[in-house]
Structure 1
Amino acid sequence: MEEYKKRIIKAIQYIDNNLDAELSLEKVAEIAAYSPFHFHRIFRLIVGETLQNYIIRKRIEKSAFYLALRKNLSIKDIYHQFGFSNHSGFNKTFKKYYGKSPSEFRKLAPENFHKIQAKQSKNGQIDTVFDQYICNIENLLNWTNMHLKIKVTALPEMNLAAVMSLGIANVESSFNTLVDWAKTENLFPGENVKMISVYHDSFKVTPPDKVRIHACMLLDEPLKRQQGEVFPEIIEAGKFIIGSGEVTLSDFEQCWVSLFLWMKENNYSVRKAFPFEIYHTNFKEHPEGKMAVDFCIPIN
């Protein structure tokens, strides 16, 4: 199973980096070094959906994220960027996933993106739900001021060792796999070890059981090659909004919501890169289950 996962990781990384290209079963199977027949079966076994469904879902979810947060791009720019050849096909597919046309979604999303979630309705169709959030914008900004210290700053390139998690429920086991590997490499435990979660999907457009999160460790030197389930990843240097605070796990969603809201209120726009968390302490070692975390959003 470990070898299967290793090859599927390569395939998923290729797909996510080439959403604007033709992603045929034959081409993706070649990347994973499988015959198309065997790859199709193994991909569905490990990822939980067919290759075609995964590709379409990723394209639509990325489109939704850009519609909400990258207002400088036209709808045409977005659907071309994510592999749709015409507006009609994009509109039909998008509406199937979110219950609204791309233009309707964009009108609602800027003020309500922190309230959007894909939800399974009783009749089995996925609808966009602009539900009532736990607090209004004013209270949310007040919460931010009380719990997070926010700054805009440049960060250098970061070399990471990463283990992929498909679904929020599997993140802890991914970190366990990473730590076991780090012990064999004499990298853990260590005085300055930093663990990081990189979010390759947004919970607001991707179901929790399909969100892709990379459990990572910051390295002094780049990892030269993939070792089992552990593979190299790079966070490129750039400008970031960083919200720092000592919070519990139950506060994480509100931290992200408030940070994206702060970004909007201060007229910053998200960059084409992935948000991440840097953990400075372990919540399991705190009597109240708190941990010191940096929540980082890449911006232009």
Structure 2
Amino acid sequence: MVKIIQYIDNNLDTELSLERVSEIAAYSPFHFHRIFKLIVGETLQNYIFRKRIEKSAFYLSLRKNLSVKDIYLNLGFSSHSDFNKVFKKYYGKSPSEFRKLSPEKFHTISQIHRKNGQVDTVFDQYICNIENLLNWTTMNLKIKVMQLQEMNLAAVMSLGIANVESSFNVLIDWAKKKQLFPRENLKMISVYHDSFKVTAADKVRIHACMLLDEKLEKQEGEVFPETVEAGKFIIGSGEVTLADFEQSWVSLFLWMKENGYSTRKAFPFEIYHSNFKEHPEGKVLVDFCIPIN
């Protein structure tokens, strides 16, 4: 299922019929449909539709060089009117209205189901203005731009923020059997394959990971190999509470824009250097890492 989800995310611009995807998964369409819905919590076509809409929102927000037409054609929509209709139904704003929104002004997009069944989109205003946010960054994060070497990881997929801890528990149980846990200088990592700006928290895909000395050659149960490619990163380091994570990410992306950097096609991640459960104030020493060009 991990491989199938990765395949879908990498091929949103192609035809992704049930027959095609189930063939890749080596299941009959009937059985694959049932298994996918059981594991992911939605049908294959609903998942593909949601990912295409969310990817379009991501491009509208951060890839200003792409035209609206480029975006909807690359994601399989046949016309501007069709794209405009489904996007507005999902986010409550047209693509052009959505593109005008400042990414610093709003931090989350949530859907509220009214009693009449309609879905309304609410943009929660950030808790402070940009100046205060940058001041918070200066006070709480040490920021640097540097090259990181390739990292070989063992990973367990989590669908939804609430399931991350259980994914880490699966990973740790696997590592104990391999005598990889505990060990000195162990690094646990969360890799974000979706953005909270466009994906609901219960559907965000996060990989709970452990840094390995040697590459994991094949999948072992729920644990699969993942690689963070070498490259340039903005790294914001600080000792913060879990409640500060969202503010840390927003402020770091704001710092990136203010300093003229742009993201590259790779996933942001967190590296944990301590355990918040062992800190009297529930704080954790963490690096927030953004891949940049």
TM-score normalised over the length of structure 1: 0.93
Q: What's the offset of the Cα at 1:110?
A: 3.7
Q: What's the offset of the Cα at 1:59?
A: 1.0
Matching of residues 216-231 of structure 1 within 5 Å: 216-231=209-224
Structure 1 counterpart of 2:107, from 111, 115, 124: 115
| Contact 1:246–1:290 under 8 Å retained in 2 | yes
For 1:195, the equivalent position in structure 2 comes to 188
Q: 1:100 to 1:117 in 2, by over 3 A?
A: same
Deviates more, 1:178-187 or 1:116-125: 116-125
Matching of residues 1-300 of structure 1 within 5 Å: 8-112=1-105, 114-122=106-114, 123-300=116-293
Q: % of aligned pairs identical? A: 81
Q: CA RMSD in A?
A: 1.4
Distance 2:134 2:122 in 1: 22
Distance 1:145 1:21 in 2: 44
Q: What's the offset of the Cα at 1:86?
A: 2.8
Q: 1:111 to 1:248 in 2, by over 3 A?
A: closer
- Match for 1:195: what amino acid? M
Q: 1:264 to 1:289 in 2, by over 3 A?
A: same
| Contact 2:190–2:271 under 8 Å retained in 1 | yes
Distance 1:179 1:92 in 2: 45
Distance 2:60 2:122 in 1: 16
SS of 1:175 mapped into structure 2: helix
Q: What's the offset of the Cα at 1:62?
A: 1.3
Q: What's the offset of the Cα at 1:217?
A: 0.5
Distance 2:72 2:199 in 1: 18
SS of 2:101 mapped into structure 1: helix
| Contact 1:163–1:178 under 8 Å retained in 2 | yes
Deviates more, 1:89-98 or 1:241-250: 89-98
Q: 1:10 to 1:160 in 2, by over 3 A?
A: same
Distance 2:225 2:118 in 1: 37
Deviates more, 1:252-261 or 1:103-112: 103-112
Distance 1:132 1:56 in 2: 27
Deviates more, 1:69-78 or 1:163-172: 69-78
Distance 1:183 1:202 in 2: 31
Q: Report how many aligned residue pairs link the two structures.
A: 292
| Contact 1:225–1:232 under 8 Å retained in 2 | yes
Q: What's the offset of the Cα at 1:83?
A: 2.6
Q: 1:285 to 1:273 in 2, by over 3 A?
A: same
Q: What's the offset of the Cα at 1:291?
A: 0.8
Q: What's the offset of the Cα at 1:121?
A: 3.4
SS of 1:115 mapped into structure 2: strand
- Match for 2:90: what amino acid? Y
- Match for 1:206: what amino acid? T
- Match for 1:180: what amino acid? D
Deviations 1:131-174 (A, max 9, x none): 22211111111111110011111111111110000011100000
Q: What's the offset of the Cα at 1:127?
A: 3.5
Q: What's the offset of the Cα at 1:90?
A: 1.8
Which ranges of structure 2 fall in alignment gaps of 5 or more residues? none
For 1:4, the equivalent position in structure 2 comes to none
